[in-house]
Amino acid sequence: QVQLVESGGGLVQPGGSLRLSCAASGSIFSIYNMGWFRQAPGKQRELVARITTGGTTNYADSVKGRFTISRPNAKNTYLQMNSLKPEDTAVYYCAVGGIGTSWTYWGQGTQVTVSS
């Protein structure tokens, strides 16, 4: 069993930066992927970034060059978001999954609003 807690969301102006944090607790031995999803009103939930236990990363095309995911240890991940745009406004969720499984555990979400 894994529990995830996100933090770091808030209101920021276009061009600004935020860093989201996610901390996992519980039984983390089976965690292979840690990732960040987002969902804006009226839009599908999308995978923003993910990172494996070995440090392999993937990003959505819409955030490449602006967002960076990191994982300093097995149970923490961060999403550094730079050059934020209004279209980045969404609820951001941390999630984890095993090597051969779907995303199985989710945090409660943190709101990111990019607006003047």
Confidence check: pLDDT of 25 > 80: yes
Q: What is the mean pLDDT of residues 47-74?
A: 96
Q: For residue 1, what pLDDT is reported?
A: 84
Confidence check: pLDDT of 27 > 90: no
Q: How many CB atoms lie within 10 A of CB 72?
A: 8
Mean per-residue pLDDT over the chain, rounded: 95
First vs last C-alpha separation in the chain: 40
Among candidate residues 21, 31, 34, 40, the one with its CA nearest the CA of residue 79:
21
Residue 2 three-state SS: strand
Among candidate residues 104, 75, 80, 107, the one with its CA nearest the CA of residue 92:
107
**At 31, is the pLDDT very low, low, confident or very high (cuts 50, 70, 90)?**
confident
Confidence check: pLDDT of 100 > 90: no
- CA dist., res. 24 & res. 47, Å (int): 18
Q: For residue 29, what pLDDT is reported?
A: 72
Confidence check: pLDDT of 111 > 80: yes
Residue type, 45: R
